[in-house]
Structure formats: structure tokens, C-alpha cells
Amino acid sequence: MFEWLGLPGNALILLISLYILNEAGDLAVNNAVKVAEITGLGKTVVGYMLVALITTLPELSVSILVAMGVGEIGIAIGNVLGSNIVNICFILGLIFLIASLRTSQLYLIVKEEVRNLYFGLFASSIIPLALIYIGYVSRFIGMILIAIFIYEMYRTSKRRRVESTDSPQEVRGKGERYLFLTIVGLIAIVTSAYIAVDSASYIAEYIGIPSTVIGATIIAFGTSLPEFTIGLKSSLKGHLELVLGNIVGSCFTNITLILGVALIGREFRVNMASYASMATFTIMICLILWYFISNRRVSWREGVVLLFLYIIFLVEIFGGYKVT
């Protein structure tokens, strides 16, 4: 994007984008917490609905392009399944490890808020299993997935833990302001993350790093940079509920809305057999995360387990790749 600025210009842009990323993370997290408090929805639900929807915009853009005829449907399916694996194993594993540096054991969420994540995890695991069983995906499947997303967002929005003591007018005024600032912060995160990845890729290519290495490192991590930024900022501020809501919500949004949008654009009939390995791995990690959440506490051990599972996934994926 900024190739014409050369190495010094891209280095400066990278630093500026990282600074904006940091500040936008603070803005988004602080106001998302206020939205959760003033609406009574809770931090888990706000992360599950609002934060997750905006942080998945990079994945949504891929699906929209596929629906418009740019790119193959296989890219969208691999993007959805791969993003869910990265979010749960890599991003959440890192967050658990970083958060455990502050305390040896973390109490995550109250029992009432745990339940808000169960359906998201259930859908994220059962939908890939159902698609493998059906054997193919098509436009009709895409409409069903989008319908599931809309229904879940409507159902979740009706849940409130507490009622605010402010008047309806005050609640609406404050809520709209905090919501606006949250969205601004999240959009700034997504935008600055994209610019940072673009500049970092140019710098890496300029100094002679192979494009395959760039794709497997900088670009691969960059697509999940918004989730990581929100997770890191939230955990450091003591809002792990927001972290889990964002990660589980992102996985649910990916497997329903993102995949659904890609499928409804054109008439597809894709054999899911080639994605059985990734889908099976997705089911496994969703069930493991379900178990961690049910215990209502995590430590560095859970972070290590998730990161180890991610390493196994990488070994399995690249182990089957042969250079010709």
C-alpha cells in the first residue's frame, strides 16, 4: 500500500499504526466495559455480540469477495476454520499465559455469564460436524447459517443481568455515546492492524525474507491481531469476561455469518471431505475450551495446553505439505 514511501516511510507507518493500535485498544475496551455496565448485558455478552462482530471484519471481507466471485469458496472455508483454531489455541492460549503472570489462578466469570457462551461454543463445534455429515455446503446451507446468527444475536440481546438505576433517557444517552466510542475504537483497531501488517510485510520483503515465511508469520498473525489486541488489553485491565466473549463470539460469527455470506453469493456445492481434518480439530478445541470455562477458572496450565494444541495443528497441516 505504501511501497512508494520506501523502507524509512514504512518503518514510520508501522510505528504509528502500532501506536494507534494500542490507543484504540484502550478506547474500545474501556467503553465496551461501560456499555456492558450501563445496559446490564454484562462484559461477556458485549464481547460476544459487539466486539466479536467488528473484530471479524477481516474475515467478513474475504467472504464478501468470495460471494462476489473473487477467489474460491475453499479459501473462505479454510479461513473460517483456521481463524477459529487460531483464536482459541493461539490467541486465547497467549492471553491465559500473560494474564497468569498477574495471578496464579484466574476466576473468569460468574455462573450466569458462563451460560451465554455455551451456545456459541456448541454451534462452533456442531456446525462443522454437521457439514461433514451432510457432505457438502451450498447456498441453502448459507442461508441457514445466517439465520442461526441472527436468531442468536436477537436471543442474546434480550438477556440482562441487572437493571440500571438511571432514567431511560440517561441510559440511552450514555449508552449511545459509549457504544459509538467502542465502535470507533474497534474500527481503528481493525484498520491499524491491516496497515501494520502491510508495512511489516513490505519491510520483511525488503530485507530479503521469503514471501512464504512472511505469509506464514506476519500475515497469518496479522489477521488475528484485532482479537489479540482486545484480548491483551482486556486481560491486563482485569476484564477476562470480555476476552472470552470476544473469542467465543468470533468463532460463532465465523462459522455462521462469515461462512454463510460466502455461500449465498454464488451457487456452490463443495465437498466437505477435504476439510474433515480442520473441522475435527475445531470440534476438539471447542470442547476443551467448554471444559475450561465450566471450571470457571484458568491458570498458565490451560494456556500451555491450548498453545501445545496449536503446535500439533501446525505440525499436522505442514506435515502433509510436500515441496514439489
188 pLDDT higher than 60: yes
Domain spans of the chain?
50-165+208-318
Q: What is the CATH number of domain 50-165+208-318?
A: 1.20.1420.30
Instruction: Confirm if 33 and 43 have CB atoms less than 8 A apart.
Output: yes
* Per-residue pLDDT band at 307 (split at 50, 70, 90): very high
Instruction: Confirm if 270 and 137 have CB atoms less than 8 A apart.
Output: yes
Instruction: Report the alpha-carbon distance of residue 160 to residue 49 in Å, rounded.
Output: 13
Q: What average pLDDT is seen over the chain?
A: 77
274 pLDDT higher than 60: yes
**What pLDDT is recorded for position 239?**
79
Instruction: Report the alpha-carbon distance of residue 285 to residue 3 in Å, rounded.
Output: 39
